[in-house]
Structure 1
Amino acid sequence: MAEHPAYPVGLRLTGRRVVVLGGGQVAQRRLPALIAAGADIFLVSPSATPSVEAMADAGEITWQRRRYEEGDLENAWYALIATGDTEANTRASAEAERRRVWCVRSDDADEATAWTPATGHSEGVTVAVLTTDAKGRDPRHTAAVRDAVVEGLRDGTLVAPHHRTRTPGVALVGGGPGDPDLITVRGRRLLAEADVVIADRLGPRDLLAELPPHVEVIDAAKIPYGRFMAQEAINSALIEHAKQGKSVVRLKGGDPYVFGRGMEELQALAEVGIPCTVVPGISSSISVPSAAGIPVTHRGVAHEFTVVSGHVAPDDERSLVDWPSLARLTGTLVILMGVDKIGKIAETLVAHGKPADTPVALVQEGTTAAQRRVDATLATVAERVRAEDVKPPAVIVIGEVVKVGPTA
């Protein structure tokens, strides 16, 4: 038997009895997939890891706190044998053979009737890799092949076109703070499948160079009709291309719903019946301070953080921000789009009780090769911005966390 390769097959285990012997690390790794498959899982083990115990407490598995006994595999469709007792494993695999139950053994693959492949998932596809040479099994190589295939499918470097008709529509994709490696896996895959990409100035621009030549890239910053009509024009462009049956990605910086006007775009699409997928992104409000060595929360320093738009000054009648209340908070204040208004913001915070010596950090072009950090206080920040010529995009962090750093 060992001279022949294993026959690959997918087991449909929903509602079917699966017996797992042993509650250690092997079971901890394998149980989530069995739970996701809908199996009726019966665990036999005198002890279990905390994670396995939590699965039992949650009702995801049935746990018998004892050692294996003859008959435990009755009515099972599949068995995973992973105890630390070789003799018990041998008896259990012998029972599996008698009962014609496919059986995996963690301690002796040669005595098993089934092997667990290295598996991964990408958008409805399960990749399962088995070594074809029974005598030369190399689990690390198998896992490496699995990882390469899954990663390629996820980031679009391994192209596997859909042969069924795709449903046209729009994806609002959060591109993250700027570093192209910080876009989500799903966002990168949707980019690779797009026919049209409408990109923000603050989106991860380097990713656009990777798109195939046939993809139409539209710079949202250059859509006509002027500054105050730009959003309306962007909505129209999304609708126009989607109605042509194209797959459209609206690539935005950060997260679509954090000062990204993503809901406005979704509402416009919904009004005309165009389906829309929202892919969250890493917000610059958290990631940029982190990249500059600043935690927005820290034990004993800040128990909360507040993210505020600074695109209008505190004394502007359009402002919706309660600046006096923010001045009384003891946590971290993160301001986006506030570089040109920081002087007025600092004055307002101090006027309402925030200490003038409160630390401030400005992080320009965060997560990119051009990143730089400028430190100040509320009393000095306006002058520091002028002296250092700080330009947007920059994230402003106000609070004691600015002074928190690695200890020697």
Structure 2
Amino acid sequence: MNHHNIPRTGYGTCTLVGAGPGDPELLTLKALKAIQRATVLFVDDLVSDEIVAFAQPDARIVLVGKRGGCQSTPQSFIEKLMLTAVQEGETVVRLKGGDPFIFGRGGEEVEHLREAGIEVAVINGITAGLAAVTSLGVPLTHRQHAHGVVFITGHAKPGDSGTDWRALAATAYSARLTLVIYMGVSGAGHIQDELLTGLPASTPVAVIQNASLATQRHIATTLGALAEQIKTSGIASPSVIVVGDVVSGLAQAAAHPEVRHSA
């Protein structure tokens, strides 16, 4: 008998919840209610303590941190923990930074649980790429500057050739797109070199670290100076890199770039 996609009676429930970029006030009401109902929460590394504090006092908190470049809990083990908890009748919340379906590997977790006959609910969260630019008063799209936006990872899966940055640069230039690059700080030099094949060195760039948190800071620079400014400023992960004319107002300071702490 094929048990795929057949809900099991007596099991608990599982909800993937987007915790947003960190500021607890950016949670949706639906996300808050799910956190408060949970009996078990599997929490990503980038979820702030203030958000975890919304859980009920007797809820079990399981930290399953995943951060680029650091040792992290294997994805297969996280999925096994989630499945076991649901089978034990728990009200499970998988609490993920940003949005579960934007570089959160939420799709993999949903597939794994559904294959075991468990339905999964998903609650969206504000992704860091949106929160970061909004905190600086910058739009991702603008009728005069950008006709669209591309969210893309700068961290390729092991064994994967990764993004064709040259093709992306040519498309971004011709279609007037904003590029929002997640997990790109460590590979900024390579990304810069490849993007410069299709975008001018004067293209405005902003790099925002710890979006929405009290520790948020950013630099405004240009594509030609990106890697050097990341190095000299000390900007580190977790950060997003925003490339495009929408950040031109910030890049007016590019002649004298500095790390700025956002209000």
Same fold per superposition (TM over 0.5): yes
What is the deviation of 1:167? 6.4
- Counting only pairs closer than 5 Å after superposition, residues 54-93 of structure 1 correspond to structure 2 as none
SS in 2 for 1:173: strand
SS in 2 for 1:366: coil
47, 72, 76: which is aligned to 1:232? 76
Aligned residue in 2 for 1:17: none
342, 354, 372: which is aligned to 2:199? 354
SS in 1 for 2:74: helix
Matched, 1:337 2:172: no
RMSD: 2.2
Matched, 1:402 2:244: no
Contact residue 15 and residue 123 of structure 2 kept, 8 A? yes
Question: TM-score scaled to structure 1, two decimals?
Answer: 0.55
What is the deviation of 1:317? 6.0
Aligned residue in 2 for 1:52: none
What is the deviation of 1:229? 6.3
SS in 1 for 2:118: coil
Contact residue 364 and residue 372 of structure 1 kept, 8 A? yes
SS in 1 for 2:224: coil
Q: Which has the higher contact order (CA 8 A, sep 6+)?
A: 2
SS in 2 for 1:302: coil
Contact residue 312 and residue 341 of structure 1 kept, 8 A? no
- Partner Cα distance (1:385, 1:320) in 2: 22
Matched, 1:194 2:38: yes
What is the deviation of 1:210? 3.1
Matched, 1:304 2:140: no
What is the deviation of 1:319? 3.3
- Partner Cα distance (1:282, 1:353) in 2: 30
SS in 2 for 1:289: helix
Identity of aligned residues (%): 38
- Counting only pairs closer than 5 Å after superposition, residues 132-143 of structure 1 correspond to structure 2 as none
Question: TM-score scaled to structure 2, two decimals?
Answer: 0.83
Matched, 1:271 2:127: no
Which string of whole-angstrom CA distances, capped at 9 and with x for unpartnered residues, describes residues 337-391 of structure 1?
11111111011111x2211111110011011111111111111111111111111
Aligned residue in 2 for 1:80: none
Matched, 1:287 2:131: yes
Aligned residue in 2 for 1:384: 229
Alignment gaps of 5+ in structure 2: 1-9, 251-263
Aligned residue in 2 for 1:323: 165
Which string of whole-angstrom CA distances, capped at 9 and with x for unpartnered residues, describes residues 314-344 of structure 1?
xx96134231222122321110011111111
Contact residue 40 and residue 90 of structure 2 kept, 8 A? yes
- Partner Cα distance (2:71, 2:80) in 1: 15
SS in 2 for 1:269: helix
- Partner Cα distance (1:188, 1:357) in 2: 42
- Partner Cα distance (1:210, 1:283) in 2: 20
What is the deviation of 1:309? 0.3
- Partner Cα distance (1:246, 1:353) in 2: 51
Contact residue 174 and residue 187 of structure 1 kept, 8 A? yes
- Partner Cα distance (1:228, 1:218) in 2: 13
Which string of whole-angstrom CA distances, capped at 9 and with x for unpartnered residues, describes residues 207-241 of structure 1?
2123232100010128xxx9576100100110111
214, 218, 227: which is aligned to 1:373? 218
The list of structure 1 runs, each at least 4 consecutive aligned residues, that deviate by more than 6 angstroms after superposition, is none
- Partner Cα distance (1:386, 1:340) in 2: 10
- Partner Cα distance (1:283, 1:221) in 2: 18
Aligned residues: 235
- Partner Cα distance (1:370, 1:228) in 2: 23
- Partner Cα distance (2:161, 2:32) in 1: 35
SS in 1 for 2:186: helix
Matched, 1:168 2:6: no
Aligned residue in 1 for 2:106: 262
